Amino acid sequence: MERYAIKGGKVLEGEITIAGAKNAALGILAAAVMTDEECIIENVPYVSDTRTLLKAIEGIGAKVKYLDRHTVSICGKGIRGDRSLSVDDEYIRKIRASYYLIGALLGKYSYANVALPGGCDIGARPIDLHTKGFEKLGAKVDTVHGGKVVAEADQLVGAHIYLDTVSVGATINIMLAATLAEGKTTIENAAKEPHIVDVANFLNTMGANIKGAGTDVIRVRGVTKLHGAEYSIIPDQIEAGTFMAMAVATRGNILIQNVIPKHLEAISSKLIEMGATVIEYDDSVRVMADGKLKSTQIKTLPYPGFPTDMQAHMATVLALAEGTSIVTESIFENRFRYVQELVRMGAKIRVEGNVAIINGVQKFLGANLTAPDLRAGAALVIAALAAEGVSVIEDIEYIKRGYEDFDEKIRSLGGNMEILDTDKDIQKFKLRVG
């Protein structure tokens, strides 16, 4: 089983380039099947979640071709849009974004039959808002059919939909289906994340008529048909934030290229409060820190608030800051599972409900760790890079879902990190790094 072996204590310096946004890519790749013409998508991150979704898209008859490592051609013409259409390969249940195929296929064929989504275990993660939205558009949705979601309609008809919780997934999914519905749809209390805007921009490039993405009211005027398009995905806000936190935790100096600094404001402002320096350029940011870090308070909120996907990374940095910090998780109820791992490295963190109370320590000590989910796994990598001694992190397949070439990028910054398979290799690594 592959594991990361990390010898911490190095100051990370240099520059890295951020990949395309995973969570935008997942919506966009699903949207691409909504036309029978070819779509060419650039800047697709080469991570296991996108590859899994592409396999599922291929599995229903679409033509999928990698033109290069980050450019994918998708042609949805070969999909048999009848009642035999079913998305249920052995992989698709593992990823959350399989649910975007419900909206995309329901919009295009008025029928979708998709295995229930999996994804990281960070809380209950219901999809009731998605299904209520489809029902408002006139679909009948059955969610118990052998662990599948079956949605069908004679004709989707635009509607007024109010989301009682701000949901990224439901906003994108309803937008997908509404694109090919008859008439106007309004999504109120919509999520405003950068990837919502990116999916809407892609759909508009395909001929959709969507206005207001990025605000909390999205208006979709249904069109009868979409056409092929070429599109380049925005940079990944969370991958960028991860390297920003890494720079601070290791008291390093990293130039992070291919970012949209505006998308990083919530992260930058917290790092600055902690005593780091963040310099914004047009499409890059430099993050530096030295000396002592200060404590602060963080509460996760929907965009433009502080992203839940960066909660674990920031708590890790705060665990090395002077004083007491409070981190409140308000989106998912099970996103503190990394805390017990950090505690084994010497962190002083107490979790009470959805609040982590962090008393900063001077240093972490290397330990054997297990990644509980994608983002928490990346946070443990940061902890290990900042720690004294060697750490070994198991279950790194979670991390590979969302971080392209994570170990290579970290090595290019001077980090001492390898992917190793056997106990013998780990022993050798430990002897080598001393």
Active-site annotation, residues: 120
Polymer length in residues for the chain: 434
Rounded least distance, CB 165 to ligand EPZ, Å: 4
Q: Which residue is nearest to ligand EPZ (CB)?
A: 169
Q: Which of 402, 403, 415, 416 binds ligand EPZ (CB under 6 A)?
A: 402
| 168 is an interface residue for ligand EPZ by CB under 6 A | yes
Do 171 and 218 touch, CB atoms closer than 8 A? Answer: yes
| 313 is an interface residue for ligand EPZ by CB under 6 A | no
| 374 is an interface residue for ligand EPZ by CB under 6 A | yes
Query: How far is the C-alpha of 143 from the C-alpha of 154, rounded, in Å?
Result: 18
Is 403 strand, coil or helix?
coil
Token pair listed for 208:
């959709």
Rounded least distance, CB 132 to ligand EPZ, Å: 8
| 101 is an interface residue for ligand EPZ by CB under 6 A | no
| 126 is an interface residue for ligand EPZ by CB under 6 A | yes
| 312 is an interface residue for ligand EPZ by CB under 6 A | no
| 23 is an interface residue for ligand EPZ by CB under 6 A | yes
| 26 is an interface residue for ligand EPZ by CB under 6 A | yes
C-beta closer to ligand EPZ: residue 332 or 364:
332
- Which of 114, 176, 181, 123 is closest to 145 using CA atoms? 114
Q: Which of 16, 60, 97, 259 binds ligand EPZ (CB under 6 A)?
A: 97
Rounded least distance, CB 216 to ligand EPZ, Å: 13
R_g over Cα of the chain:
22
The interface with ligand EPZ within residues 207-226 (CB under 6 A) comprises none
Is 237 strand, coil or helix?
helix
Query: How far is the C-alpha of 26 from the C-alpha of 123, rounded, in Å?
Result: 20
> Considering only 136-144, 160-168, 241-249, 275-283, which stretch makes contact with ligand EPZ by CB under 6 A?
160-168
> Considering only 8-16, 117-125, 381-389, 392-400, which stretch makes contact with ligand EPZ by CB under 6 A?
117-125
Query: How far is the C-alpha of 156 from the C-alpha of 131, rounded, in Å?
Result: 13
Whether the ω angle into residue 304 lies within 30 degrees of 0, i.e. cis, is: yes
> Considering only 127-135, 245-253, 279-287, 316-324, which stretch makes contact with ligand EPZ by CB under 6 A?
127-135
Q: What is the DSSP string of 64-104?
A: EEEEETTEEEEEGGG---STT--B--TTGGG-GGGGHHHHH
- Which of 280, 292, 290 is closest to 255 using CA atoms? 280
**Number of helices and strands (H, E) in the chain?**
14, 23
| 120 is an interface residue for ligand EPZ by CB under 6 A | yes
Do 150 and 100 touch, CB atoms closer than 8 A? Answer: no
| 278 is an interface residue for ligand EPZ by CB under 6 A | no
Query: How far is the C-alpha of 343 from the C-alpha of 418, rounded, in Å?
Result: 23
Q: Which of 57, 116, 156, 170 binds ligand EPZ (CB under 6 A)?
A: 170
Q: Which of 155, 165, 368, 427 binds ligand EPZ (CB under 6 A)?
A: 165
Q: Which of 96, 148, 313, 400 binds ligand EPZ (CB under 6 A)?
A: 96
DSSP 8-state code for residue 233: P
Distance from CA of residue 286 to its chain's centroid? 22
Binding site for ligand EPZ (CB under 6 A): 23, 26, 96-97, 120, 122-130, 165, 167-170, 191, 308-309, 331-332, 374-375, 402
